[in-house]
Structure 1
Amino acid sequence: MGRVQGKVALVTGGASGIGLSAAALLAREGAKVVIGDFNVEGAREAAETIKNEGGEAAGVFLDASSEQSIRDAVDFTVEQYGTLNVLFNNVGLTNLKKDVDVVNMDLEEWDRLMNVNTKSVLLGSRFAIPHMIKAGGGSIINTASMAAFASDATRSAYGASKAAVVNLTRYIATQYGKDNIRCNGVAPGLILTPAAKNNMPEPVLDIFAKYNALPYHGEADDIGYTVLFLASDESKFITGQTIQVEGGHYLANPTVPDFKAFMAQAAGASQA
């Protein structure tokens, strides 16, 4: 207990999934947490749950596509709790129907994803940093994605937007490090949030499992605990980094599972 005792945190996209996990863990470890989400009722319900468990939290509306809404969420946090020490920029969108390959991509979708996935990180940081400087420092954590590091047959805009988040993280860390502000990212692989469970059929999950180094999928708390670590003073000498939390899915030569199957088949044939 107490890993972030006395800190004030704003978690965007905190009404469900990874954001909700991070908000709950931060509150459990002593932070006062504001949960910002487009689903304001969900944000307020999450805050009530945290308070019922002995933590301190509030929910607020946040539209990550709106500069004013992001500013309002930061201002609300400072008005509610007097300062801001931790910002978790967690909002992110994807669209498998419109965000496809480069030739066929919907260009309006490209602009929308860049605005929400990347510009919201810029704006959240822009509005939070002056308060963090006044507080003597702080920690900004950005949700990137393994799509920033590995290309795919689809989701071109999503991958590009998250790659931009990775580099923006470095820029923020460089520009404000002397103000005692750290900025790091977390890059999830497949995480079994409720949305992922509802939208991914079992054969797709099996494909991911085949290429994981570990024998299981990630869960929201796997990211939540990483965020907690980056928010705490335990990570006080880490900045500008993006931690890949993906079960070793991208770790090995991609042919390894197929070669293992080939060698097992060959060994069985030689024993026959």
Structure 2
Amino acid sequence: MGRMEGKVVLVTGGASGIGLSASMLMAKEGAKVVISDFNEEGAKAEAKKITESGGDAKGIFLDAGDEDSIREAVEYTVKEFGKLHVLFNNVGVTNLKKDLDVVNMDLEEWDRLMDVNLKSVLLGTRFTIPHMVEAGGGSIINTASMAAFAGDATRSAYGASKAGVVNLTRYIAAQYGKDKIRCNAVAPGLILTPAARNNMPQQVLDIFGKFNALPYHGEADDIGYTVLFLASDESKFITGQTIQVEGGHYMANPSIADFQAFMDQSGQ
């Protein structure tokens, strides 16, 4: 028996990166998985790979900025597999050219990020909860970010939207716990997803690495395994929490790396 045997899962933004890792790990542990993504072709291709490897998965289109599309993804999952036990609200977007400091940011971009990053979590949860109640309970996992816990020079809308995800997670947990529905979030730091590898110069990766407590960057599976744990019954007494998976990047005095370099240089 796998850790997710008999569970039906809907993953948003599952065609690559963190969402794909979680989808593959949960399917490997016996879950029936629906991978939904704006990249419909990618979602279907990855679902086919899972099925060919002995799992059970379907790929469908999802526009996380559209209420009807989110509702349809939930309804498809229930129609296809009969129940819905786990929802992984994973979709998240950012735009470094428009999501700037609070004076200069594009206000339309602010609204878009609030819709896709935060409102989609609300809507996915709203449409899923009645099915979870019918199934006798369930687990909702939301992708937040370490941007929810620390200020930055840019990405103001992204950070605010992810802070909203953290607190919405608590509200969902408080409101539906008596229905045996748990809600938790995972907050990644820099994770070497394909998008990060393809778009971040090595110099930027080195800057992040300098401030990690651990001597390496995170991989998609580091988040995927955390999601697997939160989706499984192994975490049945955990709710309302945000687990920070960030290599110790944010836990220390921010000057510690430079101070240590100074100490080494001065021979102290």
2:245 corresponding residue in structure 1 = 245
Aligned to 1:113: 113
- Cα offset, 1:249, TM superposition: 0.3
Pairwise CA distance, 1:189? 0.2
TM normalised by structure 2 equals 0.99
For 1:168, the equivalent position in structure 2 comes to 168
2:261 aligned counterpart, secondary structure: helix
Give, as a single letter, the amino acid of the residue that structure 1 aligns with 2:223: I
Answering whether residue 43 of structure 2 is matched by residue 68 of structure 1, we say no
SS in structure 2 at match of 1:243: strand
In the TM superposition, 1:20-31 aligns within 5 A as: 20-31=20-31
Aligned mates of 2:211, 2:115 — CA distance in 1: 32
Partner Cα separation in structure 2 for residue 69 and residue 131 of structure 1: 17
Partner Cα distance (2:265, 2:183) in 1: 48
Task: Provide the residue aligned with 1:207 in structure 2.
Answer: 207
Deviation sequence 1:44-95 (CA, Å, 0-9, x none): 0010000011000001111000000000000000000000000000000000
Task: State the Cα deviation string for residues 203-240 of structure 1 (Å, max 9, x = none).
Answer: 10000000000000000000000000000000000000
% same residue: 78
Offset of residue 266 of structure 1: 1.1
Distance (Å, rounded) in 2 between the aligned partners of 1:151 and 1:183? 25
Question: CA shift at 1:99, angstroms?
Answer: 0.2
Larger radius of gyration: 1
CA offsets, 1:142-164, max 9 Å, x none?
00000000110000000000000
Matched with 1:100 is 100
- RMSD of aligned C-alpha atoms? 0.7
Partner of 1:122: 122
Counting matched residue pairs gives: 268
Runs of 4+ that moved beyond 6 A: none
Question: Shift of the alpha carbon at 1:265?
Answer: 1.0
Report the equivalent of 1:48: 48
* 1:136-147 pair list within 5 angstroms: 136-147=136-147
Q: TM-score of the superposition, structure 1-length normalised?
A: 0.98
- Counterpart of 2:201, as a letter, is P
Whole-angstrom CA distance in 2 between matches of 1:15 and 1:262:
44
Partner amino acid, structure 2, of 1:221: D
What amino acid is the match of 1:247? G
**2:216 maps to which residue?**
216
Report which stretch shifted further, 131-140 or 256-265: 256-265
1:143-154 → structure 2 map (5 Å cutoff): 143-154=143-154
Paired residue secondary structure (1:115) = helix
Cα offset, 1:181, TM superposition: 0.1
Where does structure 1 lack aligned partners over 5 or more consecutive residues?
none
Cα distance in 1, alignment partners of residues 256 and 26 from structure 2? 38
Q: CA deviation at 1:251?
A: 1.0
- The residue aligned with 1:38 is 38
Per the alignment, residue 58 of structure 1 pairs with: 58
- Cα displacement string for residues 81-131 of structure 1 (whole angstroms, at most 9, x for unaligned residues): 000000000000000000000000000000000000000000000000000
1:4 equivalent in structure 2: 4
